[in-house]
Amino acid sequence: MDSRRILVVGDSLFAESLVVNLSAARDVELAAIVASQKDVISSVQQLCPDAVIFAGPAPAAFDFIGELTRSRPGMIILHADPGSQTVQVVTSRSIAANVTDLLATIPFLSQGSEPDA
């Protein structure tokens, strides 16, 4: 399996822990760790990661997400917030899904259980 280049954004203990765990994964290449959100777009343009993980509380302004997805259309953006125990996924990549798949996802997301296969 090809390794995935990951850019981590954050300067918290959670971000550091995430970096340690990602570094141990065989199929992950840690492209960089960026402490400041202002450096994200230039880092993405220079490093061409497969995914960007925002590790910590929600950024004050996610206004640059559109710019990120336009600069690297296939890139996945994850926001992991340990305080709220949530993970948000943003991608501009098309996925094959039909109405049945989408409807099966709604109960999963609203109840926290896995959808029936």
Query: Nearest-CA neighbor of 42 among 62, 80, 72, 16?
Result: 72
Q: Are strands 76-81 and 4-9 parallel, antiparallel or unpaired?
A: unpaired
Q: How confident is the model at residue 79 (pLDDT cuts 50, 70, 90)?
A: confident
Distance between CA 9 and CA 39 in Å, rounded? Answer: 9
Give me 99's structure tokens: 């109405």
In the chain, the amino acid numbered 32 is A
Q: How many CB atoms lie within 10 A of CB 109?
A: 9
pLDDT of residue 46: 93
pTM (two decimals): 0.74
